[in-house]
Structure formats: structure tokens, C-alpha cells
Amino acid sequence: MHFELPSDLADLQSRILRFVAEEIAPITEGADPESPPSELRREIARRADAAGFYRLAVPESDGGLGAGPQLVTAAREALALSGNPFAARALGSGPGIMRLADNPEQREALYVPVMRGERSAAFAFTEALRSDGSRQPTQAVRATLGDGSDGFLVTGAKGFVTGGADADWLVVVANVPDEGTALLVVDRDAPGVTEGELGASIDGSTHSPFNFDEVQVPQSRLLGQVGDGLPRAMQNIDRMRLGVAAECVGWSRWVTRTTLERIEGPHRSGQPLAEQQQVQAIFADMTADAFAARTALYQAAQARERDEPTAGTQVAAAKWLASECLHRTVDRAIQLHGAQALLRGHPLERLYRWSRSLRIAEGPTELLRLTVTRHVRQNGVDAL
């Protein structure tokens, strides 16, 4: 069951795997992947930049390598396939939403600092859950600000802002009455911004809730145009979904390889576990699952590269299939590895927690299923 990549993608993956083994593995040995020191993160980025990987997804016009969706997907898969939990940090972020900065002053103030790593921004998309179980959209009302300039007063609450506790800016999706949605860059420490209690997920990541009480945001902090905020936000989520799918596929393959070594090795029964038909059946499920997810992943990456009309739906399907695949694969692997894999700190224990969170992150499986179904109902079963 061999899925062969084009030579350029295969070559990139080989170079990345060699880079991780030679440059990342020696400096990360013994470090905690859930709380890496800042100096280690910077060193990984420095080495990756020197090797030509860190700015892979950054457009050439902005000093990057301008890689398209297929190359970036192959890179993310290879970083996960390395089995090193720090390796993903070797690929810096792409331009993301900040590239919507559409004039020289705004680009210099917002986009360039993020690309240089001098400033960081967190994406405030999800509305906070209220005590009655409802979610109230965050509002941005046009107003004259205290300094006499035009701008917005932002009021509302956002939940699960990943990385918000350490970010300089919050990119807030807000509703402008009678005009539509907007993307506003808000200073995290601006008057009227209140950060709630930091929440830690089972995967080790942290998320902050934020309240906004008539926060003054100047017109110069509007990314793009009013009315295209939500579509632009969804485009960003689409890119993130493809990245998550690639990581899930890479880790699924790593888990499968590690499990094969385990079941082919010595066992107290006197023969390898791989000789048992029940074990063979479980391993076959793992292998076929990873093969199917990988096929869907590269089909979706190709569709996104070509900007096909169905690309968004294919990416949604790939993320759903890959994240569910990884969780099943890790679960089966733990069953074959035994109790040792349940101990805190074991790679599979960490992956189990992480994979569980990915079935919700960037769109839960149930929502992505609805996306696929809606597309097929509108366009027919041959539309994908």
C-alpha cells in the first residue's frame, strides 16, 4: 500500500527528515514538548531558517520561499513523521490573516513585525459561552475615538483564544451593525480588554477567554474591508485545517511504524505478537486507515493548489478523516503496546491526548461532516 509522492515533494520530505534527525533531535532530547523553553524554540527556528525550511510558507514577495499548499503539506507531514514532537516548530507560520494589511503603513506596523517574529498575534474567533448556554456575537460599532479619529468600539467576549496569553495582538472577528463582519487587530493590553482565567487543554495547549468593553480600535487596525471578515477568517481556518490534516497523517504513519517494530519484537509468549491473527487484523486496520487519510490529504492539497471550487470541502473532509484516523491509530497502538503506553510521558500517551483535541480543533468532526453533506446535496455525489 505505497502512496508515491511526486519527486519534488518526496525530496523535500527526505531533506526535512534528515534535518530533524541531525539538527533538532540532539538539542531537544530530554526537553518537555508541552512546555519548551523559549530559547529552545528560538534555536529550532534559527536552525530551520538556516536550512531553508522556516520561511517555506511565506510568499517570495515577503522574503519567503513561496511554497504552495502541496509543498507545505508535504513538509508538515514529514515533520510529524519524524516522530519528534518539537519538529513542527521548524516550519514558521505563513502570512495568515495579517497579510490583509493592504497599505504600506499598515503592513509596516502589523504584518512585517509578525513575519520577523518581533510581534505575535492570536486569532479571536470563537464567541464565549454565556451562562445561559448562548453565544452573543462580538460587536464593533463605528465611532469617533478619544483622539478624534475614526474607528470602532468593540464589545463582546471571545473564548478559546489559543496563544492569547502570550500574544501582543488579538485579531478579533466582530460584527459591524448593518455592514457585516470585520477583522480588527486589538492590542491585548488595551483599555477595556480583560483576560479571563487561562485554561489548559488535555493536549498541553493553553487558551484564554477575553472580554471587550467598548475597546477603542482605530480604522488603521481594520484588516481588509468591513463585510469580508468572516469569509477571510474561514479562509484562514481552511489553511489551518489542511495543516492539521498533514500533521495527523504524518503522526499516524509514525505510530504505525513504531507499532510494527513493537509487534515484530520479542514477546514473553515466545513468538512475536505479529504472528497472532488478532494482532495482524488490528495492525491492518491501522495501515489501511493511514493510507486512506493520506490519499485524501494530498487530493485536498492538490485541489487547494489549483484553487478548485471543491477545495474547501475536500480540505474539510481531509481534516475530519485524518484527525479521526490519528485518534483511532493511537488508540489501537496503545492496545498493542500494553500498559507501558499508558504511563505519563510515554509518546503514545501524549499523542492520545493531543489527537483527542484535534477532533475538535479547527472544526469538530460533526461540523465537517455537515460541510461535506451540504456540498454533496447541492452539487451531487460526483461533485467531489
The CATH number of residue 328's host domain is: 1.20.140.10
Reading the block at residue 63, the C-alpha cell is 522574503
Q: Domain of residue 66: give its range.
A: 7-94
Q: List the CATH number of the domain containing 126.
A: 2.40.110.10
Same domain flag for 212 and 248: no
Same domain flag for 74 and 216: no
Same domain flag for 378 and 349: yes
Residue 102 lies in a domain: no
| Predicted confidence (pLDDT) per residue in 61-120, tens digit | 877 888 999 999 999 999 999 999 999 999 987 667 777 787 888 989 988 888 776 788
pLDDT higher than 80, residue 129: no
Most confident of 113-122, 132-141, 147-156: 147-156
> Greatest CA span in the chain, whole angstroms?
82
Residue 107 lies in a domain: no
Residue 108 lies in a domain: no
Most confident of 56-65, 86-95, 185-194: 185-194
Same domain flag for 251 and 325: yes
Same domain flag for 214 and 235: no
pLDDT higher than 80, residue 383: no
Same domain flag for 203 and 296: no
| Predicted confidence (pLDDT) per residue in 247-279, tens digit | 999 999 999 999 999 999 877 777 899 999 999
- Quickly state the pLDDT bin for 47 (edges 50, 70, 90): very high
Same domain flag for 272 and 363: yes
User: Which comes out higher in pLDDT, residue 180 or 58?
Assistant: 180
Task: Report the alpha-carbon angle 352-16-307, nearest 5.
Answer: 80
Helix/strand/coil (H/E/C) assignment for every residue in the chain: CCCCCCHHHHHHHHHHHHHHHHHHHHHHCCCCCCCCCHHHHHHHHHHHHHHCCCCCCCCHHHCCCCCCHHHHHHHHHHHHHCCCCCHHHHCCCCCHHHHHCCCHHHHHHHHHHHHHCCCCEEEECCECCCCCCCCCCCEEEEEECCCCCEEEEEEEEEEEEECHHHCCEEEEEEEECCCEEEEEEEECCCCCEEECCCEECCCCCEEEEEEEEEEEEEHHHEECCCCCHHHHHHHHHHHHHHHHHHHHHHHHHHHHHHHHHHHHCCCCCCCCHHHCHHHHHHHHHHHHHHHHHHHHHHHHHHHHHCCCCCHHHHHHHHHHHHHHHHHHHHHHHHHHHCHHHHCCCCHHHHHHHHHHHHCCCCCCHHHHHHHHHHHHHHHCHHHC
Supply the angle between the helices 7-19 and 38-51 in degrees, to the nearest 10. 140
**pLDDT score at 132:** 66
d(CA 140, CA 129): 19
Q: Which whole-number Å values give the CA distances from 362 to 73, 123, 237, 316, 367, in the listed order?
A: 16, 12, 6, 9, 10
Mean pLDDT of 201-212: 80
> Contact, 310 vs 372, CB < 8 A?
no
Q: Taking Cα atoms as reference points, which of 162, 60, 88 lies closest to residue 120?
A: 162
- Quickly state the pLDDT bin for 379 (edges 50, 70, 90): confident
Q: Choose one of 170, 195, 223: the last residue of a domain.
A: 223
The number of domains in the chain is: 3
> Contact, 143 vs 176, CB < 8 A?
no
pLDDT higher than 90, residue 291: yes
**pLDDT score at 131:** 66
Q: Choose one of 199, 223, 247: the last residue of a domain.
A: 223
Reading the block at residue 341, the C-alpha cell is 503506553
Same domain flag for 308 and 354: yes
Same domain flag for 61 and 172: no
Residue 109 lies in a domain: no
Same domain flag for 350 and 326: yes
Residue 103 lies in a domain: no
Mean pLDDT of 169-176: 95
- Quickly state the pLDDT bin for 325 (edges 50, 70, 90): very high
Say which amino acid occupies 146.
Answer: G
Q: Taking Cα atoms as reference points, which of 83, 126, 69 lies closest to residue 361?
A: 126
Same domain flag for 263 and 328: yes
Q: Choose one of 192, 223, 254: the last residue of a domain.
A: 223
CB-based burial, 223-258: b 16+ in 10 Å, e otherwise: bbebebbeebbeebbbbbbbbbbbbbbbbbbbbbee
**pLDDT score at 1:** 59
Residue 17 lies in a domain: yes
Same domain flag for 176 and 249: no
pLDDT higher than 90, residue 234: no
Residue 351 lies in a domain: yes
Mean pLDDT of 161-183: 91
> Contact, 360 vs 285, CB < 8 A?
no
